[in-house]
Chain A
Amino acid sequence: MSFPWAQEYTPQNPLMKWLDQRLPLPRFVYNAVGAGYPVPRNLNYFWNFGVLSGFALMIQLITGIVLAMHYAPEATVAFNSVEHIMRDVNGGWMLRYAHANGASFFFVVVYIHIFRGLFFSSYKAPREMIWLLGIVIFLLMMATAFMGYVLPWGQMSFWGAKVITGLFSAIPVIGEPIQTLLLGGFSPDNAALNRFFSLHYLLPFVILGCVVLHVWALHIPGSSNPTGVDVKTESDTVPFHPYYTAKDGFGLGVFLLIYCAFVFFMPNALGHPDNYIPANPLSTPAHIVPEWYFWPFYAILRAFTFDFFFIPAKLLGVLAMFASILLLFFLPWLDTSPVRSGLYRPLFRKFFWYGLIPCVLVLGYCGGAPAAEPYVMISQIASAYYFAHFLIILPIISAIERPEPLPGSITEAVLGSAAPAAGASTGTASLQPAE
């Protein structure tokens, strides 16, 4: 579906005409990311991060496929095969650093993309399905990143695999068998390394499939925008190409500058030194920490220090950690405010900037710190706020808040009320209004 004023693809060249009648692939691309996709004209730079996430996925796929040509998923040689890539493969150091830092930057842009969605309530009708697919992609990314971190078979790889699969052993009765099944043994070894490699190669393509669905679902209602007001007339939109391809091109340049600064000048800044020590099942590192992008969840996991009657603290931590992500699936039905954008929601805005954002940053910091006081107590406060924010505070503010007046249209928001009244135009607004 698209807006009635969307430009239609008209092939000029006979070859393209021939192709268009048989396999309209150029038409598909034109309507997806070309001039045939009308997009609100008022998108800010936060709307760059969807395209950037797709680009980061491409970097990971391409570098990963080449790395897999040189890597050996076998416990006795895996570590040395990574060093072989770093030392003897032409440009291998660049591939590996691009892939390792690429994972971090994939998470950076995806986190910004998610928080963009949270602030501008991009999860609300009619865009729930985009949000749900996005959470699925996020979960797949976490699984893929975790398994990728195991492959170099350093100390953090080994002990990370042991701790994370050990989480499943907290589940009563079936927990231990699940851990054994995941690892293919009682402790991480060659069987675990092999299956993690296999899945680490498979899951990115599952992610790619979900991204296609995510973008498809996006093209049904069209992109949201910072005002949260629906598109009403043609003057509210611009064609994706050239307007947003140009803007995304600039955003991509800035992204690549920062990313390459890390790849070429501080490639190990985001990793842990212990992963340059070969895996040793007999020597436990002083602090086992996952990669930085898991720290907030790791802090929630470790915040539960007391058993709740018959439920052990460890199981509570595991349940809470999974709940902290799964609750995002229910967001479209927890936030009932008719107004989408946080810009027009005074109360929501306060809780977002002074509650949720500091809370997540504090959780991230505590998750990377040793499991000692005062970090545990701080992460207990932050975790308590995290759950309260989404499950208690958000539904309540949706009910009691008095939103600020919305602009009449996107055009009015951009050009001021001097613009032609948007509502006056004839029946082009085929979408139901949000309010």
Chain B
Amino acid sequence: MVRLIAFLVGLFFSGWLIVSLVMGGVAFVSEPPAETAEHAFLKHPKQVNWSHDGVFGRFDRAQLQRGFQVYKEVCSACHSLNQVAFRDLEALGYNEDEVKAIAKNWAIQAPSIDPNTGEAATRAPLPADKFPLPFANNVAAAAANNNAIPPDLSLMTKARHDGTNYVYSLLTGYSAPSKELAKRFPDSMPGKGLHHNPYFANLNLAMAPPLTGDGQVTYADGTKSTVDQMAKDVAAFLTWTAEPKLENRKSSGLAVLGFLLIATILAYMSYRSIWAEKKKH
């Protein structure tokens, strides 16, 4: 009885799947699905070698500081960094006083209350504060940015496939849409206030190219600030904001794997020695 019911259930599911397959196959052949503009024109991120890649990867402190400078002078006008506190910047090699100065001189004030009246007020940020938000709320952010809300950047490199390369590719990827795109997918041409970028999911980005030309930022360490260099530096900086414990993770990982390797070899040897008698006869 069990086998009879099972047979009928199996026949029903498998049979209907085959019927669906045939019907779907006919539909697929008679009207093949149209190719989308994203499928035809979206590019995979450009592959860059980063100092933090690989098992022994370490952040390049000088690069992180340059990337922070790009964030501060270019990105921070619109993009928040709400998971990161000023005190975290000590990991980039700044000392306590430098961090205090960075916080105190930050262009955006931190929300506060007036100690006398209790009314809303602002004050200069302290090292313990998270980076203050550039907009009061999403409505204000959308209103100031052509109806698109600039996303928070704290986790951006983990929130996209191949995130570090993605940020670099996006920042350097703005280009004029090709004639082929205009011919085949006129709907995917950038509309008013949008900018074509083959690395962005739907090819059209509300953000205008933020890195406008060489020398936009004057690096303190004298590195030449080409667009390519600035894009790389800020992508590295955002990798640090997304994964500040990356170095701890990799160095403890090496210790853990080393320990486990020795333990596993010893476990294997004791297994062989305990079983030696039983395997022989």
Whether B24 and A387, one on each chain, are in contact in the complex, defined by CB atoms closer than 8 angstroms, is: no
Query: Is A15 on the interface with B (CB-CB < 8 A)?
Result: no
Chain A's closest residue to B1 (CB) is A333
Whether B155 and A305, one on each chain, are in contact in the complex, defined by CB atoms closer than 8 angstroms, is: no
CA distance A80 to B85 in the complex (A): 13
CA distance A94 to B274 in the complex (A): 35
Inside 8 A of A373's CB, which chain B residues have their CB?
Answer: 24, 28, 33
Known A305-B24, A333-B2; judge A260-B253 contact (CB<8 A): yes
Whether A304 and B16, one on each chain, are in contact in the complex, defined by CB atoms closer than 8 angstroms, is: yes
Q: Is the interface of B mostly helix, strand, loop or mixed?
A: helix
CA distance A267 to B252 in the complex (A): 13
Determine which residue in A94, A238, A253, A327 has the highest number of CB atoms from chain B within 10 A of its CB, and name it.
A253
Whether A273 and B159, one on each chain, are in contact in the complex, defined by CB atoms closer than 8 angstroms, is: yes
Inside 8 A of B19's CB, which chain A residues have their CB?
Answer: 306
| Contact-size category for A | 35 or more
B2, chain A: closest CB distance, angstroms:
5
Known A249-B267, A250-B271, A306-B20; judge A387-B250 contact (CB<8 A): no
- The segment from B105-113, B118-126, B206-214, B254-262 found at the interface with A is B254-262
Known A243-B274, A377-B24; judge A276-B158 contact (CB<8 A): yes
Chain B's closest residue to A254 (CB) is B264
Query: Is A139 on the interface with B (CB-CB < 8 A)?
Result: no
CA distance A222 to B192 in the complex (A): 73
B271, chain A: closest CB distance, angstroms:
4
CA distance A377 to B24 in the complex (A): 7
Whether B18 and A384, one on each chain, are in contact in the complex, defined by CB atoms closer than 8 angstroms, is: yes
Query: Is A315 on the interface with B (CB-CB < 8 A)?
Result: no
Per-residue contact bits, chain B 266-277, to A (CB 8 Å; 1 contact, 0 not) = 011011001100
B82, chain A: closest CB distance, angstroms:
8
Known: A80-B83, A249-B271, A277-B159. 11 other contacts (CB 8 A): A83-B83, A246-B274, A246-B275, A247-B271, A253-B264, A264-B254, A305-B24, A320-B13, A380-B18, A387-B9, A395-B7
Inside 8 A of B201's CB, which chain A residues have their CB?
Answer: 286
Inside 8 A of A41's CB, which chain B residues have their CB?
Answer: 278
Known A253-B263, A304-B20, A388-B10; judge A276-B249 contact (CB<8 A): no
A282, chain B: closest CB distance, angstroms:
10
10 CB < 8 A contacts A-B: A243-B275, A246-B274, A257-B264, A264-B249, A276-B159, A323-B13, A327-B6, A372-B33, A381-B17, A392-B10
How many of chain B's residues have a CB under 8 angstroms from any CB in A?
Answer: 56
Whether A392 and B11, one on each chain, are in contact in the complex, defined by CB atoms closer than 8 angstroms, is: yes
Inside 8 A of A80's CB, which chain B residues have their CB?
Answer: 83
B10, chain A: closest CB distance, angstroms:
3
Query: Is B140 on the interface with A (CB-CB < 8 A)?
Result: no
Query: Is A366 on the interface with B (CB-CB < 8 A)?
Result: no
Inside 8 A of A249's CB, which chain B residues have their CB?
Answer: 267, 270-271
CA distance A277 to B158 in the complex (A): 9
Whether B10 and A391, one on each chain, are in contact in the complex, defined by CB atoms closer than 8 angstroms, is: yes
Which of B14, B88, B253 sits near A392, CB closer than 8 Å? B14
Whether A303 and B264, one on each chain, are in contact in the complex, defined by CB atoms closer than 8 angstroms, is: no
Per-residue contact bits, chain B 194-209, to A (CB 8 Å; 1 contact, 0 not) = 0000000100000000
Inside 8 A of A247's CB, which chain B residues have their CB?
Answer: 271, 275
Inside 8 A of A376's CB, which chain B residues have their CB?
Answer: 24
Whether A94 and B11, one on each chain, are in contact in the complex, defined by CB atoms closer than 8 angstroms, is: no
Which of B11, B18, B163 sits near A273, CB closer than 8 Å? B163
Whether B275 and A308, one on each chain, are in contact in the complex, defined by CB atoms closer than 8 angstroms, is: no
Whether B2 and A257, one on each chain, are in contact in the complex, defined by CB atoms closer than 8 angstroms, is: no
Inside 8 A of B270's CB, which chain A residues have their CB?
Answer: 246, 249-250
Query: Is A263 on the interface with B (CB-CB < 8 A)?
Result: yes
Whether B268 and A250, one on each chain, are in contact in the complex, defined by CB atoms closer than 8 angstroms, is: yes
Query: Is A169 on the interface with B (CB-CB < 8 A)?
Result: no
Known A306-B19, A380-B18, A415-B281; judge A257-B257 contact (CB<8 A): yes
B131, chain A: closest CB distance, angstroms:
13
A84, chain B: closest CB distance, angstroms:
9
Whether A238 and B278, one on each chain, are in contact in the complex, defined by CB atoms closer than 8 angstroms, is: yes
Chain B's closest residue to A42 (CB) is B278
Chain B's closest residue to A84 (CB) is B83
A351, chain B: closest CB distance, angstroms:
14
CA distance A253 to B155 in the complex (A): 33
Whether A268 and B158, one on each chain, are in contact in the complex, defined by CB atoms closer than 8 angstroms, is: yes
- Per the 8 Å Cβ criterion, residues 71-106 of A in contact with B are 80, 83, 86-87, 93-94, 97
Known A286-B201, A323-B13; judge A274-B159 contact (CB<8 A): yes
CA distance A250 to B6 in the complex (A): 41
Inside 8 A of A374's CB, which chain B residues have their CB?
Answer: 28
